[in-house]
Copies of this chain bind each other. A is one copy, B any other.
Amino acid sequence: MYEERTIERKQLYRGRVIQVQLDTVVMPDGRTRIREIVVHPGAVAIVPVVDGKVLLVEQYRKAIERTTLEIPAGTLEAGESPEECAERELMEETGYQASQWDKLIEYYPSPGFSSELIHVFKASGLKRVSDAKELPLRFLELHELEAKIRTGELKDSKTIIGVLMMR
């Protein structure tokens, strides 16, 4: 089985969310390579269904310098399970609570350099329990979201995958 054995690890940055490390690895044929790796705690994303529509949030993303339309999401905190994180993020970002949770999929957004794993849930039986929502909300039908994926208006991986997995 192909495997890369790590013979040296240099931590370059330890931030609030991500860490960056350089791993020196030995490949099976004996050659060595340097791998640049972003270590990420993992994240959750939620497809919340309200009256047959999907609840999305508008969010400014500094890394791409634009506001995007995304399903609610967030980063795992220390000791938190994906399920707990999903409930917390849905509440914080939208003010909604769900009575029914179903796992849709989990995936690696960019396994070439990042360890991030995103857990995607469907949330239903929603009720508004707080007005303290953090982000502007939008409600769209699944077929409208599928159209926005085709036209390129939706470009965020968790939103694309969450919507396409709802079929």
Contact = CB atoms under 8 A, between A and B. Distances in A.
A24 to B, nearest CB: 11
A14 to B, nearest CB: 11
Interface string A24-54: 0100000000111110100100000000000
A165 B4 CA distance: 32
A12 interface: yes
A106 interface: yes
Interface in A107-125: 107-117
A85 to B, nearest CB: 14
Interface of A: 1-4, 6, 12-13, 15-18, 20, 22-23, 25, 34-38, 40, 43, 58, 60-64, 67-68, 70, 73, 75, 105-117, 149, 152, 155-157, 160-161, 164-165
Contacts of A70: 111
A117 B117 CA distance: 18
Contact of A114 (B63, B73, B107, B117): B63
